[in-house]
A and B are shown apart, each in its own frame.
Chain A
Amino acid sequence: MTVLNSKIPAGPLAEKWSKHKAAIKVVSPANKRKLDIIVVGTGLAGGSAAASLAEMGYNVKAFCYQDSGRRAHSIAAQGGINAAKNYQNDNDSIYRLFYDTIKGGDYRAREANVYRLAEVSGDIIDQCVAQGVPFAREYGGTLSNRSFGGVLVSRTFYARGQTGQQLLLGCYASMNRMIGQGKIEMHERNEMLDIVTVDGKARGIITRNLVTGEVERHGAHAVVIASGGYGNVFFLSTNAMGCNGGAAWQAYKNGAFFGNPCFVQIHPTCIPVHGEQQSKLTLMSESLRNDGRVWVPKKKEDAIKLQEGKMGPNDIADEDRDFYLERRYPSYGNLVPRDVASRAAKERCDAGFGVNAEGKAVYLDFKYSIERLGQDVIEARYGNLFQMYEKITDVDPYNEPMQIYPAIHYSMGGTWVDYNLMTTVPGLYAIGEANFSDHGGNRLGASALMQGLADGYFVLPYTIGDYLADEIQTPRIDVNHPEFDKKEKAVNERLQKLFNVKGNKSVDSFHKRLGNIMWDYVGMARNEEGLKFAIAEIAKIKEDFYNDVRIPGDFDAMNIELEKAGRVADFLELGDLMARDALNRNESCGGHYREESVTEEGEAKRDDENFTYVSAWEYKGENQEPVLHKEELVFEEVKLTQRSYK
């Protein structure tokens, strides 16, 4: 018998959300004024939640580690945001968006959550337009759309290649209005390091002021984690340098179960790794696959010449090019979902057809669309991306194909939440990328922005009322409560322990070691032996870290190495849990590819009989084995089939 209760409402799928909204409790305006909510993270999920909750009348305290809320990494999302508007009259619908998302996620997401996501998607676009988001428009003044991977309709709204930036500036503007009105108390350069629970309920957080080094206490009636994903466990990823799993990890250590930690997304179109000195990877938007064709040489000897720099891509005739996505997946072609495209690139490179010196790159070629549409059209669509590519690589993609390779991009896994987005700790919520709920084993392009804003604008503001309605008698949380004393002390001890190691090696050196192990054994292809090896190696790195890390500077002042050390300490534990989860899930599914579970054609093979569940891990204490709980996934609407994009 599981301890998990997903609280999915009964009734037909299309009516669940409206019935649920009608049934849950509402807090009166007079009482909202007496209630405080903490929001950790100011990306699309946190920013939209903070703004909406403040507009409703709650007192919000928002936190971010950056120097401004508008710098959260949602800002880097390029391609677009999905919504089932059917503006293009291509027979799109809420059901079709729901179905594409469930199928794209390889049937490992909750039907009810995904349907709700599709249901509110249209409202998000309306909201963003009202805020002044300058979406692309047609000549007649209506909104423009483009297509994305894994779907057969055009439902992606975009603002050039900067959609995430514009959506984030939209919700940040709404936040600013509320900050100006005193309804949001904004804490920049302030990182959450622990959660305070009183009588089992989340009642506040402990943070470190990154400017002064001071450890601070903040109380509230509810705490919302919106701190994004944990892709940086791999060291190299498309995440921002500061992105971390800290808030979610502290939630886990305080009793919130962690859902599907092994589900991370590997994005197929990133600029390949360059040398040993690289600090991060840059994404080239999936939208490029609308007009770019992916290929490697057909002949091994051509590949070798390319690797040795003895020949260029334009020296290879069309008939000697292997457009392997079009060959293997004729119906979706270059627009197969990310997990499929990434594995196909790896397969070709592993077979020796990679095109750069390291043999770890494939081409994304715009020659054909430039011939078809003209360079000016391509420039209007992707100009900023082409410029970015040229600045980084010194190669002009109008004349020579881009080199791309898969890289870690997004975490589908995250803090386990119920239908109300509440974790297993009462009063503690997780939204956006930080939770596990909507993308299953693989996220479709342009759906992260949709989910972040759905949670923040239209889901959490309602569901949190159901909990807070029973808290209206609770006075303002007293941060002098002994639980706050205890947690503040624990945070100080944790940081002191790291600071006092006074070893010989930098924080980054450990992070890189961890990243290498994660990429090699818990990355694009995983197997039992490798995962067991990874678990043992991570334990060794952790031991070395606590014996030999060097953190220069002062403890009680700005100290960037200390900040990084705290994050790496969390990543070392998170990496271990990811490997354990990957070991347990002996099936291939979405971004999780177990070499033991493959079809004859080399495609990922799900095992629905044994693994149609969400794995939710429970923390049992330092150096204790975590306990696995299973939330069975029940599909009432969709029939599970082997995913095919052929």
Chain B
Amino acid sequence: MADKIIKNLTIKVWRQKNAKTAGKFETYKINDISGGTSFLEMLDILNEQLINDGQEPIAFDHDCREGICGMCSLFINGRAHGPDDDITTCQLHMRKFKEGETITIEPWRAGAFPVIKDLIVDRTAFEKVLQAGGYISVNTGGVPDGNAIPISQDDAEEAMDAAACIGCGACVATCKNSSAMLFVSAKVSHLAKLPQGRVEASRRAKNMVAKMDELGFGNCTNTGACEVECPKGISIANIARLNREFLAAKIKD
């Protein structure tokens, strides 16, 4: 099937030298992009153009380019991961855009995610939250047989639904409060749904929430925006579960 060719695109993109300098929008033109080209490939082509013109290419994060590593980000035309549902920016294709369109590209914007350069932000705050409790405390070796603890298919599937989070940060970027509740609740839910993870459920919820607050993520006001933009369809039901876990832990104290 031949893909349509999209002509005459205007790309308005955030350029920022580093964390210390102020950024601003720059505008570039790009022409004749095949609809089957991915959004990031379009940026590759634009960068090739910039390099050939002697300019510095646009810095953006990306790696697997198949929607699973969570490294790509980008706020495109006001939406995290762009104008398509249930995908990451790397899976967005140019057939979603029209001839003559102006495409605005910004980095994730959140206090806890400072800009490093252009469209690249520092998301290590997520890792710090995980380090505070996003694990089951088990050493390598000396564990029971995989079939020793039966886990109902429903529990395993629900745990998997939450575990599918790729930690890209779209939820934080899209939230008006820059809350990380969807991300944190996904990890807490994944482990809380499994018998192996129940043992330290209280400690986990308390420690991760405390770390999240300390790192400057905002509060959750239940707008549900995070769920809408999550490329992996992580449900805000997880936030309810985290609240329950957290409350139960506090009552025990």
Q: State the A residues within 8 Å of B (CB).
A: 48, 51-52, 55, 66-73, 75-76, 85, 87, 123, 125-132, 134-143, 157, 159-160, 162, 164-166, 169, 172-174, 176-177, 179-180, 186, 188, 211, 238, 240-242, 274-275, 277-280, 282-283, 309, 357, 387-388, 391-395, 457-458, 461, 504, 506, 508-509, 550, 552-553, 557-558, 560-561
Complex formed: what's the CA distance from A127 to B148 in Å?
12
Answer whether A240 and B2 are a contact pair too, CB < 8 Å, given A85-B146, A278-B41.
no
Chain A residues whose CB sits within 8 angstroms of the CB of B55 once the complex forms: 552
- Would B146 and A143 count as touching, CB distance under 8 A? yes
- Please name the residue on chain A nearest to B88 by beta carbon: A391
10 tightest Cβ-Cβ pairs between the two chains A and B: A141-B150, A173-B135, A130-B143, A134-B159, A134-B160, A180-B131, A52-B140, A137-B156, A129-B146, A240-B63
Complex formed: what's the CA distance from A553 to B50 in Å?
11
Interface centre among A55, A75, A130 (most CB of B within 10 A): A130
B110 to chain A, nearest CB (A): 15
Chain B residues whose CB sits within 8 angstroms of the CB of A131 once the complex forms: 135-136, 138, 196
- Would B145 and A126 count as touching, CB distance under 8 A? yes
Chain B residues whose CB sits within 8 angstroms of the CB of A274 once the complex forms: 3, 34, 36
- Would A173 and B134 count as touching, CB distance under 8 A? yes
Q: Contacting A176 at CB < 8 Å: which of B33, B116, B135?
A: B135
Chain B residues whose CB sits within 8 angstroms of the CB of A72 once the complex forms: 69
Complex formed: what's the CA distance from A392 to B3 in Å?
12
A415 to chain B, nearest CB (A): 23
24 contacts between A and B (CB under 8 A): A55-B140, A67-B71, A68-B71, A71-B63, A76-B66, A126-B143, A127-B138, A128-B146, A129-B143, A129-B149, A130-B143, A130-B196, A131-B138, A141-B153, A165-B164, A176-B135, A180-B132, A240-B65, A274-B3, A274-B36, A277-B34, A391-B84, A391-B91, A558-B116
Decide yes or no whether B15 CB sits under 8 A from chain A: no
Chain A residues whose CB sits within 8 angstroms of the CB of B38 once the complex forms: 279, 392
Answer whether A557 and B18 are a contact pair too, CB < 8 Å, given A241-B62, A552-B51.
yes
- Would B57 and A137 count as touching, CB distance under 8 A? no
- Please name the residue on chain A nearest to B139 by beta carbon: A55
Complex formed: what's the CA distance from A177 to B131 in Å?
6
Q: State the B residues within 8 Å of A (CB).
A: 1-3, 18, 33-38, 40-41, 44-45, 47-48, 50-52, 54-57, 59, 61-71, 84, 86-87, 91, 93, 95, 116-117, 120, 122-124, 126-127, 130-132, 134-141, 143-147, 149-153, 156-157, 159-160, 163-164, 166-167, 190-191, 193-194, 196-197
Answer whether A70 and B190 are a contact pair too, CB < 8 Å, given A85-B146, A130-B196, A136-B156.
no
Chain A residues whose CB sits within 8 angstroms of the CB of B68 once the complex forms: 75-76, 162, 164-165
Chain B residues whose CB sits within 8 angstroms of the CB of A238 once the complex forms: 66
- Would B140 and A132 count as touching, CB distance under 8 A? no
- Would B56 and A553 count as touching, CB distance under 8 A? yes
- Would A68 and B123 count as touching, CB distance under 8 A? yes
Chain A residues whose CB sits within 8 angstroms of the CB of B144 once the complex forms: 126, 130
Complex formed: what's the CA distance from A139 to B157 in Å?
11
Complex formed: what's the CA distance from A274 to B33 in Å?
13
- Please name the residue on chain B nearest to A164 by beta carbon: B68
Answer whether A275 and B36 are a contact pair too, CB < 8 Å, given A176-B135, A357-B2.
yes
- Would A508 and B44 count as touching, CB distance under 8 A? yes
Given contacts A68-B71, A128-B146, A392-B38, 10 further A-B contacts (CB under 8 A): A55-B140, A129-B143, A130-B143, A132-B194, A135-B156, A240-B69, A283-B66, A388-B66, A560-B59, A561-B57
Answer whether A142 and B150 are a contact pair too, CB < 8 Å, given A71-B71, A274-B36, A506-B52.
yes
Chain A residues whose CB sits within 8 angstroms of the CB of B145 once the complex forms: 126
A274 to chain B, nearest CB (A): 5
Complex formed: what's the CA distance from A517 to B217 in Å?
49
Interface centre among A66, A67, A277 (most CB of B within 10 A): A67
Complex formed: what's the CA distance from A466 to B220 in Å?
52
Chain B residues whose CB sits within 8 angstroms of the CB of A169 once the complex forms: 163
Chain B residues whose CB sits within 8 angstroms of the CB of A137 once the complex forms: 150-153, 156
- Would A140 and B150 count as touching, CB distance under 8 A? yes
Answer whether A176 and B48 are a contact pair too, CB < 8 Å, given A76-B64, A134-B159, A558-B120.
no
- Would A166 and B163 count as touching, CB distance under 8 A? yes
Q: Contacting A394 at CB < 8 Å: which of B95, B139, B147?
A: B95
- Would A70 and B159 count as touching, CB distance under 8 A? no
Complex formed: what's the CA distance from A458 to B70 in Å?
29
- Please name the residue on chain A nearest to B193 by beta carbon: A134
Complex formed: what's the CA distance from A129 to B146 in Å?
6
Complex formed: what's the CA distance from A552 to B52 in Å?
10
Chain B residues whose CB sits within 8 angstroms of the CB of A392 once the complex forms: 38, 91, 93
- Would B140 and A142 count as touching, CB distance under 8 A? no
- Would A309 and B134 count as touching, CB distance under 8 A? no
Chain B residues whose CB sits within 8 angstroms of the CB of A275 once the complex forms: 3, 34, 36-37
Complex formed: what's the CA distance from A256 to B191 in Å?
42
- Would A457 and B63 count as touching, CB distance under 8 A? no
- Would A127 and B140 count as touching, CB distance under 8 A? yes
Complex formed: what's the CA distance from A285 to B130 in Å?
29
